Amino acid sequence: MKRRAFIVAAAGWGAAAAWGSPVPRRSKARWRERREFFREGVASGDPDSNSVLFWTRYSGSPAGKSARLTLEVAEDELFERVTASAPVTVSPAADWTCRVLVGNLKPSRVYWYRFSDPDGNGSRIGRTMTAPNEGDPRTVNFAFVSCQDVNEGKLNAYRRMIYEDERAPAAEQLDFVLHLGDFIYEVVEYPDEVKTRFDRTIYEVTRFADEHSHKVGNFHIPLTLDGYRSVYKGYLADPDLQDARARWPFVAIWDNHEFSWQGWQSTVKAGKFEVPGQTVKVAANQAWFEFLPARVSPPSGSLEHFGPPAVKNVPIDKFDSDGLGLEPNNLTAINSLKGYRAYRYGRHLDLLITDQHSYRSANCFSDPSLAKLGGDEFIGMSPESLMQILDGGRAHNGGNPPAEVSFNDARIPNPQRNAPPQTILGATQKAWFKDKLKSSTATWKIWANSEGALDERADPHNLPPGLTKESWPKDAGYATTGSGFDYGTAYSERAEIYNVVRDAKITGFAIVSGDRHSFWAGYATAELPPGKFEPVGLSFVGASLTSPGPMEANEHTLPKDAPLRSLFLADRQGQEKPDWTFNMLLKHGVRSCLEYAKSFDLQRARSLSNPDLAPHLEFIDLGGHGYATVRLSADEMRTDFVCIPRPITRSEKPDGGPIKYRVSHQAKLWRKGEKPVLTQRVLEGNADLCV
């Protein structure tokens, strides 16, 4: 890119611009490290082969006053070879944050950077990397992470990542970190109001002014820009998060908690609290833009500030054929920041990043009338056939959906009979995504998707009679165990995408995702038995960095006398914590769970596995925490899960503490017309109940 075009592009991304010099020079700055002036640290993001976006927040400016900083980017840690030096202004309009895009850098190169004020007060030194050129055949290494609730845990996983990366050979070190959302949790608990939740100590993050927030149960949620900004600053006080952002460039997309726990489009929803939230959506977008360096365009087009559009909180009552709210303030709010984008990294990676919340339709599984169907004894299970009806809306069964839905003798009118099919991507983003998939020339096409895409299902029709008062409906077949609202139950849209992959004969398609607070590995397939099992790619879910997962919740909430407790937890005499049979339920089925809870004989339990239940699953751990790494070459994708103990307190060890297990999943690049094959090795620790 030429210099003039580069400066124009930087302005479009709301960043100051600097052009690297081909002749590096020794630093002339009076820099001395004073981290108290840069309390939130430094960061870099969205590198390409010749530029990187740099970030910091300055804490040394008098109230209400702008300040001038200098960014230096060097080829060495001592700043003897400074390739770029740029002035940048920080101001109250952006909460004293700044974004600087530095171009004319060399591809596949490590750089060091730092900020300083006119008095020489300096930030810590950060490290970053540029991407390789598009045709570069070198191996690509990245980590993917999600769900870092520092209100309820500590980020030991980042310390483990850093410790291992510092000691890895240069060719195996991480090139970037892909953050798949829930960078913050907008639902904040106050330690003086609630001391613990599940196994967790509640840690201080921030406090909201009452008039600018709302309380739901024990959780306070922000409704203003200042509220969201304060959450980011509370999170960035974490030393391990600061260290990770200083070591690698991050590539990020939001999930739900950067805006609203159960929100969609510009509607704020947390439990029974549901209100129009156009101003809240704009505020959430602005705070994300200010604190995460990413190549996304602000409404202002300015180098200095976001420029929030003026909106009002107005009810949304008209929707188009895809479920998009047509209320003008809603459209303005959700389009105030476009997060979906594509990212090329050498010959082998096209990273396609999508936004799962701004354009999605309303939750098709949340109609209150569904509670009348009963089935409460089955602990979160719903007939798969029912979920498919609700997902398909008026298009189900070729446009002939049933007028009623039922569970045994209970019947209700089909609440989605006249609704459009569920969409998570929305029409415009989905068209973009499919075009990018079909036009990709990279070896591996990786869908960076904040929400899990693997089916969660069980086989309650195989339960022995008499275990529950109410029997599973004879015609219901398999059950889903998820609550819906991710790609595990987005049957129509998921099939539409997978059919594009199949029909275009795309190879090297894989999904990396988060949100579920658990580790999953398997295959991308539109159908499962008794339908046609036809994998078109690979699918992975990374566990949460800190946030409590399904098994921790079950340990604290599932009654000891629940008739189906053994499908989720197996209580072993003399053992403080139960074994996690929920993994076995989803991988092998109810017969395996019941046998294991009786005999604790793993081999015998697996011998009763239902082969038609989960041919799409190779690994599942609903209690795991940690991170995943990906290594992409010309002929193989390797994904490793690194699981750590429940991160309740900060580890005092430099390596972040022990590892529970390390599991490697490998797949050779398949040819057109072939099916992907995933193999697995446990490299460290014990993962017996996960396979």
Write the pLDDT tens digit of every residue in 221-259.
Answer: 999 999 999 999 999 999 999 999 999 999 999 999 999
Question: How far apart are the C-alpha atoms of 98 and 56, rounded to whole Å?
Answer: 6
Given a contact cutoff of 8 angstroms between Cβ atoms, the answer to whether 491 and 480 are in contact is no
When comparing pLDDT for 425 and 8, which is higher?
A: 425
Q: What is the mean pLDDT of residues 190-194?
A: 97
Q: Could you report the per-residue pLDDT of 115-130, keeping only the tens digit for each?
A: 999 999 999 999 999 9
Residue found under tokens 């109810």? 590
Q: Is the pLDDT of residue 155 over 80?
A: yes
Q: Is the pLDDT of residue 669 over 90?
A: yes
Burial class (CB in 10 A: 0-12, 13-18, 19+), 635: exposed
Whole-Å CA distances, 443 to 50, 347, 348, 507, 575? 21, 7, 4, 8, 48
For CA atoms 307, 310, 316, 318, the dihedral sign is negative
pLDDT of residue 6: 78
Pairing mode, strands 97-103 and 16-19: parallel
Q: What is the mean pLDDT of residues 662-685?
A: 97
Given a contact cutoff of 8 angstroms between Cβ atoms, the answer to whether 277 and 267 are in contact is yes
Question: How far apart are the C-alpha atoms of 166 and 665, rounded to whole Å?
Answer: 23
Residue found under tokens 């599991």? 663
The pLDDT-based confidence of 562 (bands split at 50, 70, 90) is very high
Q: Could you report the per-residue pLDDT of 77-115, keeping only the tens digit for each?
A: 999 999 999 999 999 999 999 999 999 999 999 999 999
Q: Could you report the per-residue pLDDT of 488-498, keeping only the tens digit for each?
A: 999 999 999 99
Strands (E), 370-480: 382-383, 404-407, 410-413, 444-449, 457-458, 479-480
The pLDDT-based confidence of 303 (bands split at 50, 70, 90) is low
List, in order, residues 6 or more apart from 31 with CB less than 8 Å away. Answer: 72, 79, 114, 116, 120, 122
The number of beta carbons lying within 10 Å of the beta carbon of residue 310 is: 9
Phi-psi sector, 346: left (phi>0), alpha (psi -120 to 50), beta: left
Q: Poorest-confidence range of 7-11, 319-323, 365-369, 527-531?
A: 7-11
Q: Could you report the per-residue pLDDT of 364-416, keeping only the tens digit for each?
A: 999 999 999 999 999 999 999 999 999 999 999 999 999 999 999 999 999 99
| Cα 499 from chain centre | 24
SS3 304: coil
Q: Is the pLDDT of residue 11 over 80?
A: no
Closest CA to 108 of 337, 346, 289: 346
Residue found under tokens 């998921």? 494
Rounded to 10°, the helix 491-503/427-439 angle is 20
Q: What percent of the chain has pLDDT over 70?
A: 100
Given a contact cutoff of 8 angstroms between Cβ atoms, the answer to whether 477 and 383 are in contact is yes
SS3 587: helix
Closest CA to 476 of 457, 490, 453: 457
When comparing pLDDT for 4 and 354, which is higher?
A: 354
pLDDT of residue 7: 75
Q: Is the pLDDT of residue 8 over 90?
A: no
Angle (CA) 212-218-220 rounded to 5° is 15
Per-residue buried b or exposed e for 222-247, using 16+ beta carbons within 10 Å of the residue's own CB = bbbbebbbbbbbbbbbbebbbbbbbb
Q: Is the pLDDT of residue 610 over 70?
A: yes
Given a contact cutoff of 8 angstroms between Cβ atoms, the answer to whether 100 and 71 are in contact is yes
Q: What six digits make up the tokens of 152?
A: 């309820």
Angle (CA) 526-532-537 rounded to 5° is 45
CATH topology for the 1-130 domain: Immunoglobulin-like (2.60.40)
φ/ψ of 38, rounded to 5, equals -135, 65
Q: Is the pLDDT of residue 9 over 90?
A: no
The pLDDT-based confidence of 17 (bands split at 50, 70, 90) is confident
Question: How far apart are the C-alpha atoms of 430 and 496, rounded to whole Å?
Answer: 10
Question: How far apart are the C-alpha atoms of 156 and 550, rounded to whole Å?
Answer: 20
Q: What is the mean pLDDT of residues 177-182?
A: 98
Given a contact cutoff of 8 angstroms between Cβ atoms, the answer to whether 641 and 516 are in contact is no
The pLDDT-based confidence of 62 (bands split at 50, 70, 90) is confident
SS3 401: coil
Q: Is the pLDDT of residue 360 over 70?
A: yes
Residue found under tokens 């599973």? 472
Question: How far apart are the C-alpha atoms of 489 and 425, rounded to whole Å?
Answer: 14
User: Mean pLDDT for the chain?
Assistant: 96
Q: What six digits make up the tokens of 591?
A: 């017969």
